[in-house]
């Protein structure tokens, strides 16, 4: 660990929402990545002010969110709810910080780039509002693999089903699953209608239904015509990141009793004919992707093995039986790492390189 003094002259980083599900993983990532930052300032709500959290092997005191908290900050990561980002990201930007925002507040703003460093790193340089958005975790859990395939075959259509972990709904999601699991563990529940619901009670946390011993075909809030907000995000954000405004996208988002790591089945249709051999070659060499696909040996990614890792894992690669231009994939990605904190850290590192090189 370099002594603090040697960090003089390096950019100052603020982590807003340092105490949350994403913020906690962010502090781990900042401790694991190359130590490019000067001061790292930890910010959360007044509830957390004074708490001490470890980053880069040092204890750092959390300060409450305020205008002064951004004094001297070069890059500010926002890992807070949408309304908090909507209010405070422009304030941080007005004080001179480049904001990298993990919330949904600015993702579809035409003046805010939506960046995945493996796909569109150049977009991070054009930020008229001083804000760069990080895509939502469901999109991010698949998009690096799809971007690599798109570059070769030309993507035309996506049909996606997600199997989303409860930590996608933050600390409250994880607390809810753990509480419900303790109530159903060791019982014979799950054999008659409503027995799980009666056991876990009305407190279903951020989910509309019990999530233990269950799957829930819903994530986010109600959008138009029966779609969920999460499903609309996957469609709109995939289009924006890939620069394909007319990409056909159909998504069904489903919550499953997994703590962390989203999984997705993907039917991807391309402009050109595809072969499994070429698709495997692309996925095996794409940065940020691991091909793990040997069903004969029982090898395919699952959240239990992928959690805590950085890459997008792809398995079950098949050509569609009835369409020689389409591939079927099973994709897993840690929603708190590449799905949130890691992608944000990568964007912030791009900005830091710009600042240091300027």
Ligand X SMILES: NC(=O)c1ccc[n+]([C@@H]2O[C@H](COP(=O)([O-])OP(=O)(O)OC[C@H]3O[C@@H](n4cnc5c(N)ncnc54)[C@H](OP(=O)(O)O)[C@@H]3O)[C@@H](O)[C@H]2O)c1
Interaction site with ligand X (CB under 6 A): 17-23, 44-45, 47-48, 65, 79-82, 84, 102-104, 136-137, 167-168, 170-171, 335-336, 339-340
Burial category of 226 from C-beta neighbours within 10 Å (exposed 0-12, middle 13-18, buried 19 and up): exposed
Q: Where are the alpha helices (DSSP H) in the chain?
A: 21-32, 82-94, 137-153, 170-184, 195-200, 229-242, 276-285, 303-306, 342-357
Looking at the Cβ atoms of 82 and 323, the one nearer to ligand X is 82
137 a catalytic residue: yes
Nearest residue to ligand X by CB is 20
- Cα–Cα distance between 32 and 76 in angstroms, integer? 19
Ligand-binding site membership of 164 (annotated): yes
Pair 125, 331: CB distance under 8 Å:
no
- The three-class DSSP label of residue 29 is helix
**CA count, 13 A, side-chain hemisphere, 251:** 27
* Closest CB 285 distance from ligand X, rounded Å: 27
Q: Which of 74, 150, 253, 262 is catalytic?
A: 262
Q: Is 41 annotated as a binding residue?
A: no
Sequence-distant (6+) residues with CB within 8 A of 16 are 43, 44, 65, 76, 77, 78, 79, 80, 84, 88, 92
Quote the CA–CA distance of 219 and 197 in Å, as a whole number: 19
Our CB check for ligand X shows the closer of 168 and 274 to be 168
- Consecutive H or E run containing 246: none
Tell whether 19 is in a known binding site.
yes
Please check if 141 is assigned to a binding site.
no
| CB-nearer residue toward ligand X: 147 or 339 | 339
Smallest separation, CB 17 to ligand X (Å): 4
Distance CA 48, CA 22 (A): 15
State in angstroms the smallest separation of the CB of 175 from ligand X: 10
Question: CB 197 → ligand X: shortest distance, Å?
Answer: 25
Beta strands in the chain (DSSP E): 13-16, 40-44, 52-55, 58-64, 75-78, 98-101, 131-133, 155-164, 248-255, 262-270, 289-291, 312-319, 326-333
Output the six-digit token pair for 110. 């035409």
- C-beta of 85: minimal distance to ligand X in Å? 6
Binding residue per annotation — 335? yes
Q: Any binding-site annotation on 168? A: yes
Task: Categorise residue 271: left if φ over 0, alpha if ψ from -120 to 50, beta otherwise.
Answer: alpha
Nearer to ligand X, 123 or 258 (CB): 258
Q: Provide the minimum distance between the beta carbon of 53 and ligand X in the complex, in angstroms, as a whole number.
A: 10
Q: Is 269 annotated as a binding residue?
A: no
Compute φ and ψ for 78, nearest 5 degrees: -110, 115
Nearer to ligand X (CB atom), residue 65 or residue 350: 65
Structure tokens at 208: 């509309």
Catalytic residue among 74, 137, 150, 253: 137
- CA-wise closest residue to 213 among 186, 243, 249: 186
User: Least Å distance between CB 308 and ligand X?
Assistant: 14
Cβ distance to ligand X smaller for residue 80 or 234? 80
Nearer to ligand X, 21 or 97 (CB): 21
State yes or no: 226 annotated in a binding site.
no
**Both tokens of residue 191?**
């054999």
Q: Which residues are catalytic?
A: 137, 262
Annotation: binding site for substrate: 164, 255
Annotated binding site for NADP(+): which residue ranges? 19-22, 47-48, 167-168, 335
Annotated binding residues for phosphate: 107
**Residue positions forming the annotated binding site:** 19-22, 47-48, 107, 164, 167-168, 255, 335
């Amino acid at each position: 660990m370099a002594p603090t003094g040697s960090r003089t002259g390096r950019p100052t980083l603020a982590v807003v929402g340092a105490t949350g599900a994403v913020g906690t993983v962010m502090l781990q990532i900042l401790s694991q990545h190359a130590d490019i930052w000067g001061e790292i300032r930890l910010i959360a709500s007044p509830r957390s002010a004074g708490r001490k959290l470890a980053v880069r092997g040092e204890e750092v005191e959390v300060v409450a969110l305020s205008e002064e908290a951004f004094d001297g900050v070069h890059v500010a990561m926002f890992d807070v709810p949408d309304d908090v980002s909507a209010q405070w990201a422009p304030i941080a930007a007005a004080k001179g910080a480049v904001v990298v925002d993990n919330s949904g507040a600015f993702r579809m703003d035409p003046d805010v780039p939506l960046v995945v460093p493996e796909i569109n790193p150049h977009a991070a340089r054009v930020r008229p509002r001083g804000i760069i958005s990080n895509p939502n975790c469901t999109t991010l859990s698949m998009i690096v693999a799809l971007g690599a395939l798109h570059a070769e075959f030309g993507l035309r259509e996506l049909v996606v089903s997600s199997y989303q972990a409860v930590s996608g709904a933050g600390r409250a999601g994880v607390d809810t699953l753990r509480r419900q699991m303790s109530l159903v563990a060791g019982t014979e529940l799950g054999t008659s209608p409503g027995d799980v619901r009666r056991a876990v009670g009305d407190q279903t946390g951020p989910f509309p239904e019990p999530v233990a011993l269950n799957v829930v075909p819903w994530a986010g809030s109600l959008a138009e015509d029966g779609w969920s907000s999460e499903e609309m995000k996957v469609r709109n954000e995939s289009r924006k990141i890939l620069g394909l405004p007319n990409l056909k996208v159909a998504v069904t988002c489903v919550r499953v009793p997994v703590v962390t790591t989203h999984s997705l089945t993907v039917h991807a249709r391309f402009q050109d004919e595809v072969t499994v051999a070429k698709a495997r070659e692309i996925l095996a060499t794409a940065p940020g992707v691991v091909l793990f696909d040997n069903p004969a040996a029982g090898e395919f990614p699952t959240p239990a093995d992928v959690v805590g890792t950085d890459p997008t894992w792809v398995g079950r690669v098949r050509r569609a039986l009835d369409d020689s231009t389409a591939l079927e994939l099973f994709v897993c990605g840690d929603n708190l790492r590449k799905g949130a904190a890691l992608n944000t850290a990568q964007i912030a590192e791009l900005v830091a390189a710009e600042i240091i090189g300027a």
